[in-house]
Structure 1
Amino acid sequence: MGTDQREQIATTYDDFGRRWARGTSPLYEDWALGISQDPEMLARLAALPRAKQQPNLVFAAARWEGAPLSPYHEVRPWLLEHWDRIAATGAARTVQTNEANRCATWLPPLARLGGPVALLEVGAAAGLCLFPDRYSVDYATPSGIRRVDPLDGPSDVALSCRVDGEASVPAHHPDVVSRRGIDLDPIDAGDPDAVDWLTTLVWPGPDHDARVSRLRAAAAIVAADPPVIERGDLREKVTDAAAAAPADATVVVFHSAVLLYLDAEGRREFADLMAGLGDRIGRRVVWLSNETLGTLPEIDARVPAGTATDHRFVQTWDARPIALAGQHGATYETAPFRG
């Protein structure tokens, strides 16, 4: 294992702590920054496969194995002592942050589509985001709270999102006639062990406590009406999956924090696939994306200089930025892209 690899891992953990966990999960910020300065832990991480080195996975695996939620200097001896168990859990599992509250940021663009909609989520995990029409949402607007309920009335799952403009609040839920997903490792929302793992992936901290109960309630909705989630690579499966949608529906291919798991060549390949998908299948296709800045250069070039993107995805419609969406769906901001 080379020094360069350990330095790269240290940079990843430092960025995770300062850019993503800060202000939202103090414990994970402390753990990430502690590891970024810890040569022994960096050496152990460097011995893992690259895909298994990421903070989200390592921290969740540690908690799954019983790591105390204590400051890094206190938990460090425990991590070292139980490292083999942590590594084994990380090897057997993956990061699939299935946050239903992200649907609050999908509803504004979905509401702009007329007629029936066929949803196709790549990186669907358990499919919790394939049910945006089944959740209630409380939108905090500059003038107060506005509730948007499904057509059949209030849902057992209530999402919440702060928007920076009244126009972002959808007038209605979309008419979803088909739900389909693609994932390398689909999750059964009716499997208690799988749902327990998803809740372990939720970061600790007061900003995230409500996410656990919401996740379990959303999983119950999905388990009662499970969508088709096909196992496979999104680049290989997306064309056939889109072509299988009902003929009279607009196909909406969407994803959150998925392309970051592909290398630059893989992201380019998927973007090119999406650009020509409608023509290939002879259908109207809309591509909605919530990804971090730095995913695709042509999108980055259209984000105004100086725009604050910490804790936010750049939401795009057919590769055109339209909003900043909070990483867990708590905020939706269109101001940088108005005009």
Structure 2
Amino acid sequence: MTDLRYAGFAREAHGVSPAYETLARSVANDAPLLALIDTLPEAKRQPNLLFGAVRLLGGPVAPWADFRAFVTEHWDAVAREMRARITQTNEAGRCAVLLPLLAALPQPLALLEVGASAGLCLYPDRYSYRYGGAPLGSGVPVLDCDSDLLPAGLPTVVWRAGIDLNPLDVRSPEDLAWLDALIWPEHAHRRDRLRAAAAIVAADPPLLVRGDLVEALPALASTAPADATLVVFHTSVLYLVPPEPRAAFVSLVRSLPGHWISNESPEVLPPPGPIARHRPGTTTCCRWTGGRSPGHVVTVRA
């Protein structure tokens, strides 16, 4: 199974990260290295977790022989990092997809992110954007989005909170280094974006709660200001959640007042309504209203 996981990751990395495509394919065909990885719990065998741990420890991503030698010689340290950490990529660029819906809701907003990592996606009002080249806002980072869902303006956010199994603090050099290590090697623009977004968050940290997405959500949602529109949202999180608790979360979030925005693969969370395709192969979007929580669901496929 581990070999298939890495082979599948190689296909995902094709055309996006040549370094990771090569590493994943090579790991998939290396029986001794697979045997080492298989000593870890199944949930800790992810390619992103292995590659991020190696980079965090200062190891090489190329050439393959150097990567393999580093992992073999430093396996105890690599395994220790993989056991202790989870993949927590915090991509502020996802705010560009969320913004059109956030801007269309009754203002001001109380944002509650599930799977918040370090909370970088809780600051959509602080970033700048370009939608098809049209600018919105000023300052850095500037988030680009190839979409015709143009927001009317920036939202007004008066409360920000998040839930994560292991919340990160961008004021911590160690936590920031882990977020950096999770960015794929060739993506220098994302690394620059991380630093710029982290500076904004560090100056005004959000409320981040350590906990399970089902168990912690009701209590945290109840602390949102009553005079603001509650928006529960998540981006690329539910694929990590097994089907039963995922279904429990969906049922729970639909029972809350306010709005729910989901940025997930349709395979993970099928859209409950028709999909309007805005740009073939890049973005799909749907809106949904129903249950006790009239809201919007947006599903994005990269």
**TM-score calculated relative to the size of structure 1:** 0.81
2:3 pairs with one of 5, 10, 22: 10
Once the two structures are superposed, what CA deviation does each residue of 1:169-228 show, in whole Å capped at 9, x if it has no partner? 1120111111011111111121122111111110111xx111112111111111111111
List gaps (5 residues or longer) in structure 1: 1-7, 279-284, 327-339
Give the aligned partner of residue 324 of structure 1: 300
The alignment partner of 1:182 has SS state of: strand
The alignment partner of 1:160 has SS state of: strand
Give the aligned partner of residue 261 of structure 2: 288
Going from structure 1 to structure 2, the CA distance change for 1:197 and 1:312 (only over 3 Å counts) comes to farther
Shift of 1:69: 2.5
Contact map agreement 1:68 1:75 (CA 8 A) in 2? yes
Going from structure 1 to structure 2, the CA distance change for 1:30 and 1:320 (only over 3 Å counts) comes to farther
1:255 pairs with one of 234, 253, 257: 234
Give the aligned partner of residue 3 of structure 1: none
Give the aligned partner of residue 135 of structure 2: 147
Once the two structures are superposed, what CA deviation does each residue of 1:296-339 show, in whole Å capped at 9, x if it has no partner? 3x43885599x976x8787765697645353xxxxxxxxxxxxx
- Cα distance between partner residues in 2 of 1:316 and 1:40: 48
Going from structure 1 to structure 2, the CA distance change for 1:314 and 1:54 (only over 3 Å counts) comes to farther
- Cα distance between partner residues in 2 of 1:127 and 1:293: 24
Counterpart code for 1:11 = L
Contact map agreement 1:289 1:317 (CA 8 A) in 2? no
- Cα distance between partner residues in 2 of 1:127 and 1:171: 24
2:58 pairs with one of 37, 51, 66: 66
Give the aligned partner of residue 52 of structure 1: 44
Once the two structures are superposed, what CA deviation does each residue of 1:130-164 show, in whole Å capped at 9, x if it has no partner? 00000001122xxxx10010xxxx1232111212x
Count of residue pairs the alignment pairs up: 296
The alignment partner of 1:119 has SS state of: strand
1:125 aligns with 2:117: yes
1:105 aligns with 2:97: yes
The alignment partner of 1:214 has SS state of: helix
2:154 pairs with one of 160, 173, 188: 173
Once the two structures are superposed, what CA deviation does each residue of 1:79-106 show, in whole Å capped at 9, x if it has no partner? 2222221111112222110111111111
- Cα distance between partner residues in 1 of 2:103 and 2:81: 40
Give the aligned partner of residue 16 of structure 2: 24
2:141 pairs with one of 157, 160, 171: 157
Once the two structures are superposed, what CA deviation does each residue of 1:38-70 show, in whole Å capped at 9, x if it has no partner? 222222111101221111111000111222131
Give the aligned partner of residue 184 of structure 1: 165
Counterpart code for 1:146 = A
Contact map agreement 1:27 1:70 (CA 8 A) in 2? yes
**TM-score calculated relative to the size of structure 2:** 0.90
Contact map agreement 2:129 2:142 (CA 8 A) in 1? yes
Contact map agreement 2:286 2:299 (CA 8 A) in 1? yes
- Cα distance between partner residues in 2 of 1:244 and 1:110: 20
- Cα distance between partner residues in 2 of 1:182 and 1:31: 32
The alignment partner of 1:299 has SS state of: coil
RMSD over aligned CA atoms reads 2.4
Bigger shift: 85-94 or 97-106? 85-94
- Cα distance between partner residues in 2 of 1:274 and 1:127: 19
The alignment partner of 2:271 has SS state of: helix
- Cα distance between partner residues in 2 of 1:317 and 1:256: 17
Contact map agreement 2:265 2:300 (CA 8 A) in 1? no
Going from structure 1 to structure 2, the CA distance change for 1:325 and 1:224 (only over 3 Å counts) comes to farther
Contact map agreement 1:290 1:314 (CA 8 A) in 2? no
> How high is the sequence identity, in percent, across the aligned residues?
45
1:271 pairs with one of 250, 253, 261: 250
Contact map agreement 1:254 1:287 (CA 8 A) in 2? yes
- Cα distance between partner residues in 1 of 2:45 and 2:28: 12
